[in-house]
Structure 1
Amino acid sequence: MTPAPYPIGLIHYTNVAPILDYLQVPGGVDVIRGVPTQMNEALLTGRVSMANISAVEFIRNADVLSALPDFSVSVLGAVYSVNLFHRRPWGDLRGGRIALTAQSATSVALLEVLLRETGVQATLERAEGSALELLDQGYDGVLRIGDDALREWYDVVGPIGEEVSMLDLPHQKHGVTVTDLAHRWFVLTGHPFAFAVWAYRKDAPPPHALLQAMRVSRRAGIGQLAEVSERHARRLGLPERVVQHYLWNFRYHLEAPDRLGLAEFADKVLPGHAPLEFGTGLHALTP
């Protein structure tokens, strides 16, 4: 009897393009695609057996999930695509209303941690729309994530000429401030922030052929980052050098600093959480 295909969930934001753009899915693997909240639900219900899911859902479900030991979507410092847009200073958001995206549980949890750690109490509400639209509707802050957040950040602060260093990109213009939550986490903790991990159900570890294909794809994507950036810059309608800077900021290996940041986030967001487990036996395959 032929075994059933191994189902995986993929969230194909631009930030994982260096891992996924060159992925040759091996035989015996089925792919389902969606946004983070959809893939979280698919993994937890068993619709898929592995997915690149929100880090906070991995933390909350550490009793049933393990994570690949060498894959993450992490960043040390600014990420540019997890942004709080606001017109009042951060401290003046106290008592205000903040609109939240429905697409990412981790970004919402990170915002809650940062507000709490800085003594800012605000009302968080679900609302969909662009950052400027929601600010104009009366919200004091708007959380935006992913490709939309990257484009809307550039809409606010751009255009950015060649004379501007990519290490000194603006985050404020025309009365709108774009607070990068990953940068604020780094200032608070000194650690990278892991937005996503590649988690799998403990009762359904991934086949080796899939892990090998993912590692080969990552090596190709990182090695051809200029080509990846050019392709996605056209799709996003952004300058190629901005997208390339965005992508080379990411850490796609779950290294010791990333695990430290993930552990600190876990302690802050869910004290007393189950131990985080990583499939150390899966390290053996290369590259």
Structure 2
Amino acid sequence: MASVFTAPSSAAPYRAGWIHYTNVAPILDPLEVPPGVSVVTGVPTEMNAALLEGRVDIANISVAEFIRHADRLAALPDFSVSVLGQVYSVNLFHTVPLPELRRVALTAQSATSVALLEVLLREWGLSPTLTREEGTAQELLARGYDGVLRIGDSALREWYEVVGPLAEDASMTRLPHQGGAVTVTDLSQEWYRLTGQPFVFAVWAYRKDAPPPPDLLRAMRGARRQGLGELGAIAGRHAQRLELPQRVVQHYLWNFRYHLEEPDRRGLHRFADLLLPGHAPLEWGPQITP
């Protein structure tokens, strides 16, 4: 878990809401927030709501909610959770070929992953019934769904339950996506096939009336440098918690792009245009000094 702490302050704290999945461990594990900043954690939909309702001032929220509320939110200009190709933790588990999907169970934990699936289904010309339902992929498939959307650490574990165990000498660039009667379709990979661009799952967004203090931004940037330099150790800790091989978790982490570079912004704008034509302009800032 993170080494995030809340420092005491006589003034009202600046409130941060962290979604602490393994995919942001290289930023949040080493992060020590400065005095005057308080921290709460939750799943994506919880932190989305907390930011929009004013219960936190900044959060690493689902990019779909950033797009939908671009009139009220801005995002840090060089922080993201993006992937070019396979992500392994935003998965559609299914027992029939994609064109034959009829009933798909959706997690309530993520707005972006559901929106991405809806965009892909529309682009594929498919219109299965989508139902909010929680449970593991195997549980929901056994209940009669022929597709189940799972995200985050649980999706990573369940992917490995389907395809694993992997041989010690398995190529980490050719990891399997099928086991028995279950196929795992990686939605980030499908986005790449559709667009040739990275997919941005989350940005660090804040309410425009509550920009983050410079000390917090510097602490986040320093934590990211430290975390990327300690990727093996971070992967080892999280692999133990997830009960997965360290090499699998390390491969998972090194796929991520955490800096919101120009290719990521192009992918984000492409998704925004497909998700919400005519959306408000996306705003970036404040700039972070080294």
> What TM-score bracket applies, with the shorter chain setting the length?
over 0.9
How many angstroms apart in 2 are the aligned matches of 1:130 and 1:161? 25
CA shift digits 1:80-100 (9 cap, x unpaired)? 00000001011111xx01000
CA shift digits 1:145-195 (9 cap, x unpaired)? 000000000000000011210000000010100000000000000000000
Structure 1 gaps of 5+ residues are none
Report deviation, 1:3.
3.1
CA shift digits 1:193-212 (9 cap, x unpaired)? 00000000000000000000
How many angstroms apart in 2 are the aligned matches of 1:141 and 1:218? 36
Deviates more, 1:251-260 or 1:2-11: 2-11
Please name the residue that 1:150 is paired with: 156
Alignment of 1:161-180 (within 5 A): 161-180=167-186
TM-score by length of 1: 0.97
How many angstroms apart in 1 are the aligned matches of 2:239 and 2:214? 33
Please name the residue that 1:79 is paired with: 87
For residue 39 of structure 2, the aligned residue among 27, 31, 34 is: 31
Question: Partner letter of residue 183 of structure 2?
Answer: T
Report deviation, 1:2.
4.7
Question: Partner letter of residue 50 of structure 1?
Answer: I
Is 1:88 aligned to 2:96, yes or no?
yes
Query: Could you say what the CA RMSD is over the residues aligned between the two structures, in angstroms?
Result: 0.9
For residue 262 of structure 1, the aligned residue among 268, 271, 282 is: 268
Alignment of 1:198-277 (within 5 A): 198-277=204-283
> Which aligned runs of 4 or more in structure 1 are off by greater than 2 angstroms?
none
Please name the residue that 1:278 is paired with: 284
Question: Partner letter of residue 14 of structure 1?
Answer: T
Question: Partner letter of residue 160 of structure 1?
Answer: L
Question: Partner letter of residue 55 of structure 2?
Answer: R
How many angstroms apart in 2 are the aligned matches of 1:22 and 1:264? 32
Structure 2 gaps of 5+ residues are 1-8
CA shift digits 1:63-105 (9 cap, x unpaired)? 0000000000000000000000001011111xx0100001000
CA shift digits 1:212-268 (9 cap, x unpaired)? 000010000000000000000000000000000000000000000000000000000
How many angstroms apart in 2 are the aligned matches of 1:65 and 1:126? 27
For residue 107 of structure 2, the aligned residue among 70, 80, 101 is: 101
For residue 68 of structure 1, the aligned residue among 76, 86, 104 is: 76
Question: Partner letter of residue 112 of structure 2?
Answer: T
For residue 188 of structure 1, the aligned residue among 194, 197, 200 is: 194
Identity of aligned residues (%): 70
How many angstroms apart in 2 are the aligned matches of 1:163 and 1:241? 11
Q: How many residues align?
A: 282
